[in-house]
Chains A and B, each alone.
Chain A
Amino acid sequence: MTAEAPEIARASSQLEAAAEKAESRRGLTLAAPSYLYLIVLFVSPLVIIGVYSFASRSRTGRPLLEDWNLDSWAKILGDELIRSIALRSVVVALVTTMLCLAVGYPFAYYIATRSERVRNLLLVLVMIPFWTNFLVRTYAWRVLLGEDGPVTEIGRALGLWDATLFTLPAVYIGLVYGYLPFMVLPLYASIERLDWSLVEAARDLYASGFRAFLRVTLPLTRPGIIAGSILVFIPSLGAYVTPDILGGAKTTLLGNYIVNQYLTARNWPLGSSVSMAIMIVMLIATVWYFRSGARTL
């Protein structure tokens, strides 16, 4: 018996190794199609844009793959205009995210604490408006917020506000409207999975329900909060249609700026460098998020 043991041990470890390799191959095979797809249709475009950020611009606005330079990158770092636009965009994105969180959390909480059948129906009711065209929805807000719109009329009657169209608040309304579901869904998922016995225990422990919420429920739903915030912050940062339609194109945000560089100014190197810069910042933020222990969005 002892003479055969090492044989068996070696054989079984060989089997294990073979099994692991087979599994590894299977995993790779499953992922291969999407891997390849993304490399071709995402990574190479990204590389090309990166390359363009070092290119130069012809007299008539065509990007030239010669006279490589760092001009567009220098402009990002040195130009005050770009910095103020970036700052404003970050502020807008942050405020939008906070608003979505403030409005979305109680909303998601309520839905998650209904009975199962009602829950599904309520969730579906959230999605349905998004089956209409985003532009038409945004234009509907133009009607609501316009000179003769009901929102304006009510505001005037109550003496609270005047016409809100083409102002910054209008942009916020549009952005929150567009991205609230992206906050609600992850929040809902997170709240729904809560271990309610913990919440009950917390309520018993803490004198006030509010503290129970603050100390137990809120931290437990942290993954949902973070996921929702990321899903709202990023699109808000690059938004350009909403600020144009509801904000009257009066404020230039990063999204508008990039589109301008590509289409109006025909300054592809600059448009590319600003895009790359945003991506790099986002990447750093996400890496930091994952390093801090999260496993998935």
Chain B
Amino acid sequence: MNPFEPARGRGHELVIALAGQPNCGKSTIFNTVGGFKVNTANFAGTSVSYAETTVCFHGRTFRLIDLPGTYSISSFDLAEKVTRDFLLSGQVDVIISVADASLLSRSLEFTLQLQEMGVPMVLALNMIDEAHRKGMQFDVERFRELTGVAALEVTAVQGKGIPELFAEAIRLAEADYRPILPQYDRDVEQCLAGILGRYPAALATPNLSPRFVAIRLLEMDEHFGRLAREADPAFADFVDDQRRQLAELHGWPEAGVLASHRHAVVLDLYEQIATHRRGSSEGLRERVDAFITSPLGGLATLAVSLLAMFYSAFWLGDVISGWLEGPFARLSGAILALGAGPFESILMGLAQGVEAGAGIILPYLIPLLVLLALYEDTGFLPRLAFLLDGLLHRVGLHGKSIVPLIIGYGCNVPAIMATRNLDNWRDRMIAMLAIPFITCSARTVVILALAGKYLGAGWTAFMYLLGLAGAMLLAFALSRTKAGSLLGVIMDMPPLRRPYPGIIVKKIWLRLREFLVVAWPVIAIASVVLSVLSFYGFDRYVNAALAPLTSGVMHLPASTGIALFLGVFRKELALAILGTALGGDIGAVLSHQQILVLVVFTTLYIPCLATLAALWKEGGWKTCLASAALNLLAALAVAGLFARLALI
């Protein structure tokens, strides 16, 4: 039974924040408590903005904030800045510091930084099952004695330990129980005391203790450094001097001197609470991992899984259309029998729209979502990044860009948001313009339903490569015009993990629901509108206006104009409407070459409305317009070329 209930109404609520390093399971805990609301995956950087939910637990209402993962309080990219700003804002009543227990020695560095803030805190030792398997045991009582922070063992994917975790967090927040502030060695403490002795009143911040600010200053934090200099230049000089002396004393670089001391504290703490025994054998997992991270093995895994998706899509398509064929044939027969009028055309449009959603789109969408969920949860994607980074680097794409690009295969909108993980504007710009060339799930559906059904597996694969080639070429061209430092990738390689069926099903449902409640009604409405418009002959105007492009450039029937126009709203719409627009079965009306041209165009042309909106929001209207223009021109050029070559 789930003790967490969604809360109604808002009053004075506790604010609980989930914070931790990337890929430690914050969003999984969030989803366990708040219902499946945010996507999760086994790679760093899945969450780039914070999610919030209000939950009722044992009669107590609280707001739960899921913050993007960050490696330290010093922020680098936009996603990490979200976390830092929120934590420093003073809104948080209790922090749940989430740590990957199997990597605790590293996670503790961040936990200690959080502890320095002096806000009530609980440590969630997540993925404890994995740590136990590796032979690690933790003395949580000892940890509490040493730090004043309660540590609880949790397996978030199974929901184990989550109610206890929240009960403890709420208890601590209500008691306002604050952690023991970490103590450093004598030199650092003397240095801190010196700084606090001269701490200017003008630097007082409402939510943060002077000690926390002094520590940030010793860490050369840019934000607090600026504040200190504004408040009192002599004080800022004094801090710089102190830091320099400390660095010289220990022979460490200035920027890392405090971090090195913290590391010593963490090591000491870790030694006292952790014991290692020999873990169970990881031989099989190791061998599978070695296979997947070899070029041939990785390629084989990719090819086999894509083929499996391809064939299950056709199998499912046959099954579903087998169910629908009879009833819908009788239904349209009944509508035709009513005669021909505006009302009948509404009914006919509705029936066709509903059938297109169920019969054309669902069979291709479901296998795709299953595959995507498996890729995400097993940790296949970072391994793909490992294999492809060398190539991507050559075309000028920052290795970290691969995460947004891969997300783009699901949907371009979160992919564009995910570019927030990139460190600089140049890399973000290149990634944002390249992403719309990536064949998202909506376009994959179009590709499978047209190229897959009529042209075969070869051409289907070709369409995928075409989109990828478009993205690569564009990135290559842009990286030549804009010089930048290509320091390259740094990312965690999480262990291969077993996907949990419960979570896979919820993930698929999260995305499928979006199709059912947003896309399908849109398709049905568009189908009705088109049916009514064509009853009055209005679709002719749209088709005539687009004829120079459809029949002129691409040698397609002018009646495809309206379908391609509607495809800008949602790419599946082009497919769903095509049958209605052409007035018959696609395979009978269009030649194979025309189908090829049509798929090429749909694969490349203007990103859908939601993607354009995301581009506008993240990159400004110039980026948005540039992207639309680039894609349209590329689509017309390639489709026009294919219309003039005898390829099939």
Chain A partners chain B? no
Which residues of A pack against B, CB within 8 Å? none
